[in-house]
Structure 1
Amino acid sequence: MNLLLDANISWRIIKLVENDFFNCLHANDIPVNQPAKDIEIWEFAKANNFTILTHDDDFEKLLLLKGAPPKVIILKTFNKNTKQIAEILFSKKHIIESFIINTELMILEIY
Structure 2
Amino acid sequence: MKLLVDQNLSRKLVDQLQHEFPDSIHVTAVGLGTATDRELWQFAREHGFAIVSKDSDFRQLAFLYGPPPKVIWLRVGNASTAGALQVILDHLDDVLAFDESADAALLVVPRLPN
Partner residue in 2 for 1:69: 68
Query: Which contiguous aligned blocks of 4+ residues in structure 1 show a shift greater than 3 angstroms?
Result: none
Deviations 1:59-110 (A, max 9, x none): 1111222222111110001131001111111121111011011112110000
Measure, in 1, the Cα distance between the counterparts of 2:82 and 2:68.
29
Unaligned runs of 5+ in 1: none
CA RMSD of aligned residues (A): 1.4
Secondary structure in 2 matching 1:22: coil
Unaligned runs of 5+ in 2: none
Measure, in 2, the Cα distance between the counterparts of 1:62 and 1:104.
15
Q: Is the 8 A contact 2:8 2:54 kept in 1?
A: yes
Secondary structure in 2 matching 1:83: helix
> TM-score normalised to the size of structure 2?
0.88
Q: Which has the higher mean CA deviation after the structures are superposed, 89-98 or 59-68?
A: 59-68
Number of aligned positions between the proteins? 110
Measure, in 2, the Cα distance between the counterparts of 1:60 and 1:88.
18
Q: Is the 8 A contact 2:67 2:103 kept in 1?
A: no
Same amino acid, percent of matched pairs: 29
Secondary structure in 2 matching 1:7: coil
> TM-score normalised to the size of structure 1?
0.90
Measure, in 2, the Cα distance between the counterparts of 1:43 and 1:4.
12
Partner residue in 1 for 2:81: 82
1:20-35 aligned at under 5 Å gives the runs: 20-32=20-32, 34-35=33-34
